[in-house]
Copies of this chain bind each other. A is one copy, B any other.
Amino acid sequence: MKYRFSKSLEGFSSSAVREILKLTQGSSIISFAGGLPAEEYFPLDAVSDAFKRVVEGGKSALQYGLTEGYKPLRESLCKRMAAKNMIVTPDEMLLTTGSQQAIDLLTRVYIDEGDVILVERPTYLAAIQVFQAKGAKIYSVDSDSDGMILDDLAAKIAKHNPKMVYVIPTFSNPAGRAWSLERRQGLLDICRGADVLILEDDPYGEIQFDESESYPTIFSLGGKAEGGNVVYTSTFSKTVAPAFRTGWVMGDESIIRQVARFKQSADLHSSTIDQQTLYHLLEHFDLDAHISLIREQYLDRMKFMSGLLAELNWPGLKYEEPKGGMFIWVELPEQINAAELLKIAVKEGVAFVPGATFYAENPQYNTMRLNYTHTDRETTVLGMQKLAKAMEAYLQNA
């Protein structure tokens, strides 16, 4: 038959990251591409113990659950959030299939075709895709290492009347930025004055290298959620493990209620086996000690990769060491097209993500995102050697 697909498919490209991930899965290609945590630190024994406790609870653990998610886990999460000055009740929180689903559900609840969303420059690829699929107009706000430039934000709000601003203020994907307090407060103040909703995406906030520094979430600056401008989402994918696909979203109860209505028709609810396992894990495992371990190891890996990058001595190479998260953002000399470089790199046996995919508009083609969390030292050395070779070949052919 002749299929008549939805027009939502137009201009909705598959994620380059996921396609590369597919390409490299099961192959010998060294990948700096995905945002994969280091497998060797997954707390598998603790997960196994937690699952045993779920089973001990009896067969009702396998029944349908609430759309909002397993309530004891929401209660535990409320306590964890309160320790970060984010005060919410379980009714102001909903459990999702990763924070990706929170982005998708909030967009379905809040955005219509033609509505404007402002994003960072650059920003998370899969958020752009969600917004595009909904037919939103996306404009990027000029940004530097301290976050969005507030004058440009104010100007673009005045010009475009956006419904929402999407930000990853703490160790952003892909740029690894940590917004300054002034920019965080400024974003909140400007959006409050203009009735613009802020979606604060915080998957990496816990992966903070210097514990003496403080990066209050925008949600915490906004105070109590009721009537608030900020919807906050985070996930267990980076602190425990991705396979659980368990994230959460917090905000005013009236918003969470609408998110729940959409989630009900999207999938009824996420896996409650996973939610119950995570609940028992939080009760009986020292997650904060585990996070400290991850921080140390990832800092070590970041420093190691950064050192190798410096040794490359590519003329015109620019990057800053991130203060947390999982990525180093690299600016190459202007004449380099990173997507072309990737083609050669994959032949050499190494992958990364070309930076251009992370721009909502006017991409910078001479950028790349490197993940440092997933490869051990030996593999990283090898990968960087292959990358150096790829660049040599690229420059010779140029």
Contact = CB atoms under 8 A, between A and B. Distances in A.
Given A1-B192, A6-B111, A39 B63 contact: yes
A101 interface: yes
A255 to B, nearest CB: 7
A306 to B, nearest CB: 24
Between A97, A110, A260, the greatest number of chain B beta carbons within 10 A of the residue's beta carbon is seen for: A97
Nearest to A65: B243
A197 interface: yes
A4 B116 CA distance: 12
> A interface, by DSSP: helix, strand, loop or mixed?
helix
Nearest to A68: B22
Contacts of A254: 3
A267 B272 CA distance: 16
Contacts of A277: 273
Interface stretch (A125-133, A148-156, A319-327, A390-398): A125-133
Count this chain's copies in the assembly.
Answer: 2
Interface string A1-24: 111111111001011001001100
Nearest to A21: B64
Given A9-B258, A97-B270, A262-B133, A63 B51 contact: no
A284 B89 CA distance: 42
A310 interface: no
Contact of A228 (B1, B18, B62, B64): B1
A24 to B, nearest CB: 12
Interface string A257-281: 0101110111111111110110000
A349 B241 CA distance: 43
B129 A242 contact: no
A1 B40 CA distance: 45
A66 B24 CA distance: 12
Contacts of A81: none
Contacts of A295: none
A244 B261 contact: no
B163 A4 contact: yes
A39 B12 contact: no
A285 interface: no
B104 A266 contact: yes
Interface stretch (A52-60, A169-177, A297-305, A376-384): A52-60
A276 B21 CA distance: 19
B59 A261 contact: no
A130 B48 CA distance: 36
Contacts of A267: 96-98, 100-101, 104, 245
Given A14-B264, A98-B267, 14 more contacts: A1-B229, A2-B195, A4-B197, A5-B109, A6-B111, A22-B66, A25-B66, A39-B62, A42-B59, A48-B55, A62-B241, A64-B237, A108-B133, A129-B265
By Cβ-Cβ distance, the 6 closest A-B pairs, closest first, are A62-B241, A97-B267, A101-B267, A271-B271, A129-B265, A64-B242
